[in-house]
Structure 1
Amino acid sequence: MRNIHEPLDRLARVHDGELTDQVSAAGAQALLASIVAGPGATTTAVTAPSPWRLRMPRLVAGALAAGALVIGVIVGPGVLGDESATSYANSAIAIELDGDQYVARIKDPLADHAKYTEAFHAVGLDIDLRLVPASPTAVGKFLSVRWSKSSGAGPARSASGGSLPTLKFTPENCGEPNQAGCELTMRVPADYTGNMSLSLGRRAEPGEEYKNPDWATAPGEMFGGVQLQDGRPVDAMLAEARRRDLTVEFSRIRPDAETGALSFEPLSADQVRGDWTVWHAWQVKAGVIRLLVTPERLPENPFEKGARPPS
C-alpha cells in the first residue's frame, strides 16, 4: 500500500513565503478556495503572485479529510494572482491596507529581516526593512534610509507626495518594540514606488553591539553632552567615563597622509598615555565606550570632516 505520510511530509516543509496554488484538479481547487474564503464566506478562485508556488499533491484532499494538515494563506484581492495582495502576515510582521496606506505591524523585532522583506514584497512594496540593535534613545528610530531608482536624487514619492514611512508605537509612548505589550507600526503610502532600504533601531539584547556607535555624545547617550570638537586629554575623559560608570576601550586614529582616510588600531589601556588626545567616542554596547585617540594633537579634528565608524 502506498504510504499516505509521504505527500504529507512534502507539504509540511512548505514555508509561509511559498503559499500560492497551482491546482490541477477541479475538486482540489474548490477545496483550496473554501479554505481561503473561510466559514460563511463567498468562495472565489484566486491565483498566487509569482515566484512563490505551491504544487498541491493529488492526495491533498484525502489528507485534509483525514484532519492531518492545516494550511494558512494570505487573504485579499490578488492574493494568489498577478496583482499584489492587500494584506499579508507571517510570524514576524503583519501588513494590511488601511485607506490609502499600508500599515505594517512588527510582531517580532528579533526575526530574520527576510521575513519583513517577504511581507512588503507580497503587497507590492519594494522595501527592505532591518531591525538592528541600538542604544536606548535610538530604539524605534530610523538609523539609516537608502533608496535607489533609475533617475533623480531623492526617493520615489507617492501620488500624495509622501516618501519616508512614518513610525508609531502602539499604545503611544509605550517604550520600545521589544517590550511586552508594545508594538511598532509603520505606515507607507499604498501607491509608493521605488526601492528603499531601512535600518530601524530595536533594543539590544545583552552583549549585543550597537549599530549606532556614532551617537555616543548625543543627548541621552553614554557620553551625552561631552564636547570633543577641539580634542580633550585622555586623563580627563577617563575621569568622565568613571563618573558615568563606563568601561573604556581605545582605538588609535591613523590618518592616511595622501588621501586623509582614517583607519583605527585597537589599543589596550596600558598602551595609551594620559596626555594623548581624544577626538571622538563611539558607544560599543551597554556600558562600554570606545575613545578614539592620537599621541599628538592634530591640526583639526578629523571627525569634523564627516569620518564614520568602519562598517
Structure 2
Amino acid sequence: MNTDVDRVVAHLDPGPGPGMTEGAHALMREIITAEPAPAPRPARRRRPVLRLALPGVALATAAFVALSWLLPTGPGFGPGPAAALDIREENGYYVVEVKDLYAGPDRYQEQLRGVGLDVTLRLTPSTPSMVGSIFPTSPTDHRYLDEIKTIDQPGACEKMGGCPIGVKVPVGFQGPAEITLGREAAPGEEYANVTSFDALGEPMHCVAFRGRTVAEVRELLAQRGLAVHEFRDTNPYIDEEAASRTSVPDSWYVNGGYLRAPGKANLNVSEQPEESDAGGLRNCAAPQGS
C-alpha cells in the first residue's frame, strides 16, 4: 500500500454502519504520520464523530468496470443474478469484485462466509482522496494485516489514500479481518471518511488558503464548486458547544478545513491568524492556484 506521508486517514462517522473498533483506531494513529483531518467539536445538532478512515472505492482500469472493487476469492464463485460480490480464486488467493457498492454489510458477509472467509467488509462514503483506498485490520489483536495484500492500479497515483483496485486474501486465511473501503457518496449523503481538504487528491491541495480571511477562502472554494457549510472556532478557551457556528465575520482567518458532503466544506477559523499558517501551504511541493 502507498505509505506517502500525505496519506492521512480520515475519520469514520458511525452513522452509516458499525464502524471500526477502538483498537483499529489506535493502530491507524500509529501507522499514519501525516496531519489528521480536523475533527469537529460536538454540538447540539447532529454532528459526525470523525475517526481515522480507511479507504476503498473502485478506480476504473482496463480490466475493471468503473465503481467496482476487486478482492481475491475462491474458484468458481460467480456473482449470481443479485450478488453484491463476484468471488473467485487465483494463484492461492481469493479475489473479490464488488458489484454493488451500496449493498448492506449483511449481503457482503453472506457471500464472504459462503467461501469460508472470516472477513467483514464495509464500504463508507468518502472524500475524493479516500475513494479507492483500502485498510485491513484484525479486530482481535488490533494490527494491520500484512498477509492481506492490496492490488494497486498501474501507473502514477495522485491520491492520499493510494489507488488500489483490490485485495488479495490468502486461501486458508483464518481471520477474522475487517476491511474498510471508501466509496463515492450517494446524492445527499454525508462523508464518513474525511481528511483535510488540502490533502493530496482533495480540491484545495496546493492552494494557499491557510491564514487568509473567510471572505478570501469562500471565493477560493466557490471557484472549485464548493460552498461553506459550517465553521468551527479553534479558540481553545471557548466552550465546546460554542465552537460550532453557522456563521462568523468575513474578517476572521481560516486555518484548516475538510469536506462534509459533496459540494460542502467545513472551515476551521479563528479571530486572529495563527503563526503556523504563514505561507498558507502544507503537504505541497509547489503552489497551484491562488
Q: TM-score range by the shorter chain?
A: 0.5 to 0.7
Q: Helix, strand or coil: the match of 1:240?
A: helix
Deviation at 1:264, TM superposition (A): 7.6
Of 139, 144, 147, which residue of structure 2 is paired with 1:155?
Answer: 144
| Residue in structure 2 matched with residue 37 of structure 1 by the alignment | none
Distance in 2, matches of 1:266 and 1:207, equals 21
TM-score (structure 1 length as normaliser):
0.52
- State the 1:289 CA deviation: 1.2
- 5+ residue gaps, structure 1, are 1-84, 174-183, 302-311
Q: Indicate conservation of the 8 Å contact 1:216/1:281, yes or no.
A: yes
Change (3 A) 1:137 1:124: same
Where in structure 1 do 4 or more consecutive aligned residues deviate above 4 Å?
85-90, 254-257, 260-264, 297-301
Whether 1:221 aligns to 2:178 is no
Preserved contact between residue 253 and residue 262 of structure 1 (Cα < 8 Å): no
Match of 2:87 in 1: 95
Q: Does 1:208 align with 2:189?
A: yes
Corresponding residue for 1:242? 222
| Aligned pairs (5 A) from 1:63-212 | 88=77, 89=79, 91-142=83-134, 144-150=135-141, 154-157=143-146, 162-166=147-151, 185-212=166-193
CA contact (8 A) 2:137 2:177 kept: yes
Given that 2:211 and 2:255 are in contact with CA atoms closer than 8 Å, whether structure 1 keeps it comes out as yes
Whose relative contact order is higher, 1 or 2, with alpha carbons under 8 Å and at least 6 apart?
2
In the TM superposition, what is the alpha-carbon distance from 1:167 to its structure 2 partner? 5.6
Q: Which structure has the larger Rg?
A: 1
- How big is the shift at 1:100? 0.7
- Alpha carbons of 1:263 and 1:192: their partners in 2 closer, same or farther (altered >3 Å)? farther
CA contact (8 A) 1:254 1:262 kept: no
* Match among 251, 265, 284 for residue 275 of structure 1: 251
2:18 corresponding residue in structure 1: none
* Separation (CA, whole Å) in 2 of partners of 1:223 and 1:104: 34
Letter in 2 for 1:279: N
Structure-2 separation of matches of 1:240 and 1:292: 15
Q: Which residue of 2 aligns with 1:82?
A: none
The one-letter code sitting in structure 1 at the alignment partner of 2:139 is: S
Q: Superposition pairs for residues 277-296 of structure 1, below 5 Å?
A: 277-296=253-272
Equivalent residue, structure 1, for 2:23? none
| Displacement of 1:190 | 1.5
